[in-house]
Amino acid sequence: MDYLAEGFINAFLLLIRGNEETYSAVYTTVYVSSISIIISLVLGLPLGFVLSYYEFIGKKQIRAVVDTLLGLPTVVVGLLVYAFITRRGPLGEYDLLFNKSGIIAGQTLLILPVVISLSASAIESLDERLRSTLITLGARGRKIITGTLYESRFAIMTAAAAAYGRAISEVGVSMMVGGNIKWHTRTITTAIALETGKGEFAMGIALGIVLLLIGFIVNWLLIFLRKRG
């Protein structure tokens, strides 16, 4: 059991002393996951709105597919993105493989269904009187969309937090598409996998603590924003 205690002590020393290798992985994780969540929200919120607000042929079927993709295995996404961005793939010329951009593409693909599905559920659960209220107050077109999304902001924030949590904690995409390259594409999760394999528990534990801390900060921010209303 001594190695565990020793691992914890060394983990804190790594974090306190600002170990560059540790913080490089933290930076990469926060960077790729933040870009992924921004892209997913920009694409996913309007799609979630359309999927919940309008009636069209095939709506139920599309919703079923989106809901199924919620549990998409990260390695499957990794494999799919790898196949597309490898030199022989259709997007090979863009040099995305083993780059942060590749991880961002993969993570976006992974969390987009989460944003679409949860935001659609959030909008579906809104009060049916909201639309007529917005209209009677003079809202038109884009104002109705923004007004509706704003009314469901708390549920959408929860959806965004869930999607962000999935992005920062995934390992399949980062490992397969990013290649776990030190100082470049190594993320917290790929570093933990590698360091644990090497028996270097200290860095694994330090990175694990940071991962939990990020999750805690995101949730704390969510609670703070809810309180502000």
Partner 1 sequence: MTVNSDYLYELADIEHGYGTFRLRIPSLNILRNSSVGLSGPNGSGKSTLIRLLSFLEYPEKGVVRFNGRTHGRPHVTMLQQDPYLLKRTVYDNVAYGLKAAKDTENLKQRVTEALEIVNLDHKKFIHRKWFELSGGEAKRVALASRVILKPEALLLDEPVANVDSESSIAIMKAITWMKEEHSSTIILSSHDLTWLSSITDNIWKLSGGKLAGSGTSNLIPGPWSKEREGIWYSLLPEGEKVYTHTPPDAEATAVLNPGDIILSLKKLKDISAINMLPGVVVTMSSDINAGRIRLEIESSGRIFYAYITEASASKMKLFPGKKIYLVFKATSLQWI
Interacting residue ranges for partner 1, rule: CB under 8 A: 127, 129-130, 132-133, 135-140, 143, 147, 151, 153, 229
Whichever of 152 and 180 has its CB closer to partner 1, that residue is 152
Q: Which is nearer to partner 1, 4 or 225 (CB)?
A: 225
3-class secondary structure per residue, 174-206: HHHHHCCCCCCCCCHHHHHHHHHHHCCHHHHHH
The whole-angstrom separation of Cα 220 and Cα 17 is: 26
Say if CB 119 and CB 159 are below 8 A apart. Answer: yes
- Measured between its terminal Cα atoms, the distance across the chain in Å is 47
Least CB distance to partner 1 at residue 139 (A): 5
Sign of CA dihedral 200, 206, 207, 208: positive
Q: How far is CA 88 from CA 31, 76, 83, 152, in A?
A: 28, 19, 8, 44
Q: To the nearest whole angstrom, how small is the minimum distance from the Cβ of residue 114 to partner 1?
A: 23
In the bound state with partner 1, the residue whose beta carbon lies nearer, of 68 and 125, is 125
Nearest to 85 by CA among 61, 110, 111, 105: 105
Nearer to partner 1, 30 or 139 (CB): 139
Angstrom distance (rounded) from CA 176 to CA 79: 7
Tell me how far, at minimum, the Cβ of 138 lies from partner 1, in Å: 5
Identity of the residue, 87 or 142, whose beta carbon is nearer to partner 1 in the bound complex: 142
Nearer Cβ to partner 1, position 79 or 155? 155
What is the Cα–Cα distance from 30 to 48, expressed in whole angstroms?
Answer: 25
